[in-house]
Amino acid sequence: MNKKRNALGRGLSAILRNPETDITSNKEISSATTVANTSEILIDNIQINPFQPRKEFNKENLYQLSESIRNLGIIQPITVRKLGYDKYQLISGERRLRASKLLKIKSIPAYIRIAKDQQMLEMALVENIQRQELNPIEIALSFKRLIKECNLTQEACGERLGKNRSTITNFLRLLKLPIEIQDGLQRKKITIGHARALINLDDDQKKINIFYDIIANDFSVREVEQIVKDFSDINYKRSSKIKKTITTEPLPFTYQKMLHDISTNLETEVLFNRNKKGNGKIIIPFENDKDLEGILKKFKLKN
């Protein structure tokens, strides 16, 4: 009977058993070492990467990937680092690993690297950022973590990632936004252009009010920039509860601003209906006589 071929490849078994290349040893590793061969390693022996900047994985996409792996196998091996003999920690390829687990696959092809925590963090961040799989907030948090945990300046961080310092700075500024806006950016309710326009405001509540109006009224980035300019020194009252026009066409920005101004001045919601021909009506609802009296006073119709 033929001897079973060593799946680890020539010389790889010796490297993995060498305590000098064990990440758990006390010896310093001057630089990350890559073992060129790919190896089939047991999935149960792989720990998830604690430095993974990506926190959410689309379930539907994972199922689609698992079907692709079922039909074609894993085309691109994952990358892991050695923790000890037969113990590994994932560096990149978590989607492939998760999809393989869905198929209950026992082993997976992998490149094995020898790296310290800082090197692993850098590799994980670079892997994800360069693939452009992260949303803007995840990228910003990755930059922040790389700077803090690897003791880098913004300029050095940019050099590691092949990006300008201004790019690093602009992403980090996103983390100064209120949490509601950061969440909206992650969920693609607004674009990074909207978020960058809101950063220029000093008042967080004003940012939040405009944020909800962006979602409700589908403001463009240019329109938000104009709103920020117009309301930089004055209060902005949220008007996102206002019902949209019945026309299928977007309400022009001039009307949206007019509607907001009316609602703000009257301190109540104002409903606005307008058809394609330009005909329509403005409705000012009230809950009781006291509300009505307050509205009439605004119009100077009641003493």
Residues identified as active-site: 94
The residues, any chain, with a CB within 8 Å of residue 250's CB and separated by 6 or more, are 218
Answer yes or no: are the C-beta atoms of 227 and 210 closer than 8 Å.
yes
Answer yes or no: are the C-beta atoms of 284 and 270 closer than 8 Å.
yes
- Angle at CA 103, nearest 5°, toward 98 and 105? 85
Query: CA dist 288 to 91, 266, 284, 293, 295, Å?
Result: 63, 15, 12, 9, 11
For residue 288 the two structure tokens come to 């009781």
Spatial separation of the C-alpha atoms in residues 126 and 134, rounded to whole Å: 11
From 241, 231, 239, 269, select the one nearest 256 (Cα to Cα): 239
